[in-house]
Structure 1
C-alpha cells in the first residue's frame, strides 16, 4: 500500500525494520502490503503508534484550505464547505 510505504519512508524505516516491528518475515512484507486485512491494518497502526486512519490519508490532507472554511474529501477530492458561526 502506497500510504504505508510513504510513512515508512518519512520515518526512515526500511521494509526489514518494518517486518521486525510487526513480527513478520521480511519476505512477507510485499505480500502483506498488497492485500492487507482489517486485522493487518490494526496491527500495523498499533505497531507504528498511529491511528489506523493515517494508513489511508495523511494528516496534511485534512488541513483546511487557506480560507479555513474548506476541506477536501479524502475519498473523492471534492470540496467540503464549512460554515463557521
Structure 2
C-alpha cells in the first residue's frame, strides 16, 4: 500500500525535499504532490524512488512481522492475515 507519509519519510531519510524530487523528475511540485496523494503508477513510483535515491520498495508500507495486510482487489478493503 502506498502512503504519502512513507514517501515523505523516505525523502527525509535520504536528505531530499519535495522540490528537489520534483526538479529531478522534471515536473512541478504540484504535479508531484498530485501523484503522491493520488494513486501513482508503477512508472511514477520508480521515477520517485530514483529521484529520492532509494529502492522503490522503501515507498511501500512494510508488513508487520506477525501479520500481513493485503488489499482486496474487488472491494478495496484491507485484509489482515496473522502469520505464525
2:54 equivalent to 1:50:
yes
Higher helix fraction: Structure 1 or Structure 2? 1
Q: Give the number of the structure with larger relative contact order, counting CA–CA contacts within 8 Å between residues 6 or more apart.
A: 2
The runs of at least 4 consecutive aligned structure 1 residues that moved more than 6 Å come to: none
Number of aligned residues? 72
Shift of 1:27: 2.8
Bigger share in strand:
2
CA contact 1:57–1:74 (8 Å) conserved in 2? no
TM-score normalized by the length of structure 2: 0.61
C-alpha RMSD of matched pairs (Å): 2.4
In the alignment, is the contact (CA less than 8 A) between 2:67 and 2:83 conserved in 1? yes
Distance, in Å, in 2 between the alignment partners of 1:74 and 1:39 is 23
